Structure 1
């Protein structure tokens, strides 16, 4: 089933509500949100439920790690259970005198043997 733009925006908003207390947020790039999330090469298709589970688990297990990342740090969020991979890059944004950490999701793919020179943050 195709993930709609509105569903992805709603998911991003829900995740960002949780992250706000830590001055953090996520952002799905155009490539991730519109070119890769519903790509037919993702077999089986990525579901909204999977995305929600991956990011909820990520928050519980790795949020404190990325809070300390420098601007420009790149990493791959990897789910061993679903074989989903999310290459990401950190940017910083100053809002109301506070520094916010923004996790930019560059792309997303379901690929069992995904390789990257970047560090992996693994969830199960």
Structure 2
């Protein structure tokens, strides 16, 4: 159905948004973490693109992004595990041998050691986005 398209979509952003919508209901802090992460992401993108970056400033932004990213990804992982539990319950109740079906969530954490590469490429290369 269209409302469930996010999880099976080819588009990674749609998948993340789908998981975030569910996370808003299961984790009240998730919205604030996501909002703060996106603010920092916007600042970092602008800074990388328009300025001659200061490594200390970029490290500070990246460290803060890392903290939010870890929490965001934990929340998304929790949602995927909950969905997989429900799918497993369903398949266990179906008679006969049926191949298991489950979703895998493999996030790419913020890598604070990619700052030089980000400066060169003028783009953010890792995180919860």
What TM-score does the superposition give when structure 1 sets the normalisation length?
0.27
**Which structure: greater helix fraction?**
2
**Which structure: greater strand fraction?**
1
